[in-house]
Amino acid sequence: MAASLKQRHRTEKAMTAKSHQYDLILNLVRRNFILQFKGSLLGLLWALLLPLSQLVIFVFLFRRVVPLKIPDYPVYLFTGLLPWNWFSMSINLASSLFITNRDLVRRPNFEPSILALVHALSNLVTYLISLPIVFILIATSGRRLTWTVLLLPVIMLIQGTLIVGLSLFLATWNVFYRDLQHITGVVLGLMFYVTPVFYSIENVGREYRSLFTLNPMAVLIQAYRAILYDGTVPDVSTLLVATAVSITICGLGYLAYRRDIQGVYDFL
C-alpha cells in the first residue's frame, strides 16, 4: 500500500513539478527585480544610469585622454560593457546567495541551487533592459544590424551557464569559508582589465592573444562584438572552447554543490 502511494505521488509530482519550478523561478526573479528598485525614486532608471555613467567616463578617457582609435567607440564599449556588468554583478553577489537567503535555503522542499539560476536571470533582466541603448547607439552611429543579432540568445545562454556554474561554487563554499566573497571582489576587479571590455583585442600583442582564449568572458565579449558591432558571425572555434569551459564549470559547480549542500544545511 505504501509503495503504491509512493508511486502515485511520484507521477503526480512529475506532472506538476515542471510547471511549478517554472512558476517558482519566474516569481523569484520578479521579486528580485521588484526589490531592486522598490523605494527608490528613479526606480528602473537606475538600471540604465550605471552603464550610462560608465559610458560617459570611458568615452572621455579613451577618446580624449588615451585615444584608442576605435571607430564608433560608444557602440564598441557598450557591446562589451553590458555583458561584463551582467557577469560581474552576478559573481560579486553570488558568494552570499545562501547566506542572505538563509530562510529560503532552510525551507523544506526548496532546492537551493535554484537561487543560482534565479540570481543569474535577475541580472540578465537588467542587461536586457539596457540593451535598447545599444540599438539606439548603433542607429545613431550609422552602423547596421545584421541577421547575426539572432545569435545573441546563444551567446547569452553560454554566458548564463558560466555564471550559474561559478555561482554554485561560490555560494556553496562561501558558507564554509567567508573569504571567498572578498576574493571574488578582488579577482573581478583584476579580471576587468584582462578582458577586452574597454579596449580591443587588436591592441594586445599577438603573443598574448591565445591566452585570452582561456578567459571565457573574453571570448564571449568578442562574440557579442562580432554580432552587434561588426555584424558578423562570431569565431566558432574559440566560442566552442568557451562553451566547453562554461559547461564544465557548470557541471563541476553542480557536483560541488551536491556534495556539500548537506553541510550547508548543518552550517547555516
Partner 1 sequence: MDIVLEAERVSKRFRIARNRPSSLKELFIQGLKGRSSKTADELWALREISFTLKKGRSVGIIGHNGAGKSTLLRLICGLGRPTSGRIQYWGKIGSLLELGGGFHFEMTGRENLIMGGILGGLSKRQVEALQKEIIAFAELEKLIDQPVRTYSSGMYLRLAFATAIHFDPDFLIIDELLAVGDSQFQKKCLDRLQSFRIAGKSLLMVSHNLDQIRAYCDEVLVMEEGRILMQGDPESAVRAYYDIMRQRTERRQAKMEVVQPSLPIQQGNRYGTQEVTITAVRFIDGDDRITDHISSGSPLTVELEYFRTNTVSDMACTLGVFNENNTKCFEAHASSIRATSGQLSERASIRCRLPELPLLPGRYYINIGLFPTDWSFVYDHHNGMHFLHVMNENEMPVNVSGVVMVRPHWTVRSQDPS
Of 23 and 202, CB closest to partner 1: 23
CB of 81 to partner 1, least distance (A): 29
What is the per-residue burial (b if ≥16 Cβ within 10 Å, else e) of 35-66?
A: ebeeeeeeeeeebeeebeebbeebbeebeeee
Query: With contact defined as beta carbons under 8 Å apart, do 163 and 126 qualify?
Result: no
Distance in angstroms (rounded) separating the CA atoms of residues 83 and 159: 8
Of 180 and 221, CB closest to partner 1: 180
Q: CB count, 10 Å around CB of 234?
A: 20
Phi-psi domain of 254 (left: phi exceeds 0; alpha: psi -120 through 50; beta: other): alpha
CB of 167 to partner 1, least distance (A): 19
Query: With contact defined as beta carbons under 8 Å apart, do 88 and 188 qualify?
Result: yes
State the residue for C-alpha cell 542587461: 127
Q: For residue 257, give every residue at least 6 positions away whose Cβ sits within 8 Å of its Cβ, in sequence order, or none.
A: 112, 113, 168, 169, 171, 172
CB of 107 to partner 1, least distance (A): 6
CB of 5 to partner 1, least distance (A): 5
C-alpha distances (whole Å) from 41 to each of 45, 50, 89 are 9, 15, 22
Of 27 and 53, CB closest to partner 1: 27
Of 18 and 206, CB closest to partner 1: 18
Of 22 and 60, CB closest to partner 1: 22
CB of 26 to partner 1, least distance (A): 8
CB of 265 to partner 1, least distance (A): 4
Chain mean position to CA 244: 16
Q: For residue 4, give every residue at least 6 positions away whose Cβ sits within 8 Å of its Cβ, in sequence order, or none.
A: none
Which residues bind to partner 1, rule: CB under 8 A?
1-2, 5-6, 9, 16, 19-20, 23-24, 26-28, 31, 34-35, 38-39, 103-104, 106-110, 177-180, 183, 262, 265-266
